[in-house]
Structure 1
Amino acid sequence: MTVRPAFPPPPAAAHRAAPPLLVVAHGSRDPRHAATVHALTRRVAAARPGLRVETAFLDFNAPAVPQVVRRLAADGVREAVALPLLLTRAFHAKTDIPAVLREATAGLPALRIRTADVLGPSPLLTAALERRLHEAGLDDADRASTGVVLACAGSTDPEARRVIEGVARRWQRAGWRAVRPAYASASLPRTEDAVRGLREEGVRSVAVAPYVIAPGFLPDRIARGAREAGADVLAPVLGAAPELAELLLRRFDEARLPVSGLSVA
């Protein structure tokens, strides 16, 4: 499988002194979640020396978004870029994060926060999925005979589901026997149903590729479904893959270009 970590320099428009990058993650009671998020943001910081990278969580973990925003303001920061650590534009991206940022900056008129786009869809995410499948034991020789379940957390947002379905269709064109989306919550089919459906179609080798960033309750549900249905391969979560670190920096740079990103102040 082709994997290609690369960290291109920022575009010319982003060469001026960079504002801090505030990565906003969902958070989880599972300690593996925060540990994975921090590993990813450390990788981002290492790939862009001199860039201030802060991490904040919507729930369950510290520091919370308002705490980090206040710290930035106290340090005299006038501009920052908030980047939702999300794969699709669903409820958290459309509602939760904008509301939290508006509330956090309401009493800080000197601080302007621009919001970057969510991570997906992107070819870099597909490359990260392929990296994880490769680590789980698949290689290019398996591609034509393997059906893949693109296992997502799930959303009630129809736009998010359409995006996931599009990712599956495009990824199948990379030579897989089949790629089918599945969801751990909110939508159907579940991972185990998608695995069984591929078997019924005559696919002999089935791999499950979690389209989630960090471990937690829903990724564990994906893994249980994969094992219960007898999937041949279960890939790890995306985690701190180099492709994700590159993608975060690309979204950060895009948000700083003219007429890009959404200001919340």
Structure 2
Amino acid sequence: MTALVAVAHGSRDPRSAATVHALLEVVRGLRPSLEVRASFLDLSAPRLGDVLRAMHGEGHRSAVVVPLLLGKAFHARVDVPGAVAEARLPSLDVTIADVLGPDPRLESAALRRLAAAGVTSGDPSVGVVLAGAGSSHAPANAAVASIARRWAADSGWAGVEAAFASTASPDVPTAVARLRDRGARRIAVASWFLAPGLLPDRVADLAGDAATAAPLGADPEVAEVVLHRFDAAADVRATRSA
């Protein structure tokens, strides 16, 4: 049976890897028959190449690598394929799935996290910052901005602004200022991060006393997206092999 190898970015913050492992436990609970393994690109262990080599040594013949990334930026476009190629395992058929985002289920999870922080739709006094990592790859930032525009149209809030923790603009203080200019009396921050770490902490620090939602984490709908990406890639692999 084709195995699912999830690969996250990795972090020096132990909460990040713990969240990834917790998410994959939810994935296993949704599909107990599927072999699911965790791996990381950097800073955390085990690394993706090491996991693939171990599977090859155990006799596995096929795997789908699912990037636990919310956008198709440098890590997805370069680092993940590079790590797979570097493993050099011609007898292990490896297919790389699409990244997790965008997907309505991720937005649903983000809104649940925001509600858990005390912010629900329909309050015109609230301005919401949708905070993501930021990328030098403009389409990845545009995807977050698109979500913010959709929320702004549907939520009843004073406004929704995308903001980024690094690389891209606007930053969190700029987004907060724009929302204040639109009449927002309270600011809340929605998280477009999968797990805790340096960048989500930076966002929280910059947001000051704003209500700040937790990252998406081990949410059942996020787990459903992981399995959906796996299934789509496995179907492509099956068609290719037929």
Q: Same fold (TM over 0.5)?
A: yes
Query: Does structure 1 conserve the Cα–Cα contact (< 8 Å) formed by 2:160 and 2:179?
Result: no
Structure 2 portions without partners, runs of 5+: none
- State the partner residue of 1:254: 232
User: Which one of 211, 219, 234 corresponds to residue 212 of structure 2?
Assistant: 234
Where do 4+ consecutive residues of structure 1 move more than 6 Å?
Answer: 259-263
Q: Where does 1:24-173 land on structure 2 (aligned, <5 Å)? A: 24-104=7-87, 106=88, 108-142=89-123, 144-173=124-153
Q: 1:259 to 1:145 in 2, by over 3 A?
A: farther
Q: 1:135 to 1:262 in 2, by over 3 A?
A: farther
Identity %: 48
Q: SS of the residue aligned with 1:193?
A: helix
TM-score for the superposition, normalised by structure 1: 0.86
Measured against aligned partners, the alpha-carbon deviations of 1:53-88 in whole angstroms (never above 9, x if no partner) come to: 000011111111111001111121111000111001
Q: SS of the residue aligned with 2:236?
A: coil
Separation in structure 2 between the aligned mates of residue 71 and residue 135 of structure 1, nearest angstrom? 40
Query: Does structure 2 conserve the Cα–Cα contact (< 8 Å) formed by 1:117 and 1:261?
Result: no
- State the partner residue of 1:183: 164
Structure 1 portions without partners, runs of 5+: 1-17
Separation in structure 2 between the aligned mates of residue 202 and residue 88 of structure 1, nearest angstrom? 31
Task: Give the RMSD, CA atoms, in angstroms.
Answer: 1.9
Q: 1:77 to 1:243 in 2, by over 3 A?
A: same
Amino acid at match of 1:206: I
Aligned length: 240
Q: 1:55 to 1:262 in 2, by over 3 A?
A: farther
- State the partner residue of 1:198: 179
Query: Does structure 2 conserve the Cα–Cα contact (< 8 Å) formed by 1:116 and 1:261?
Result: no
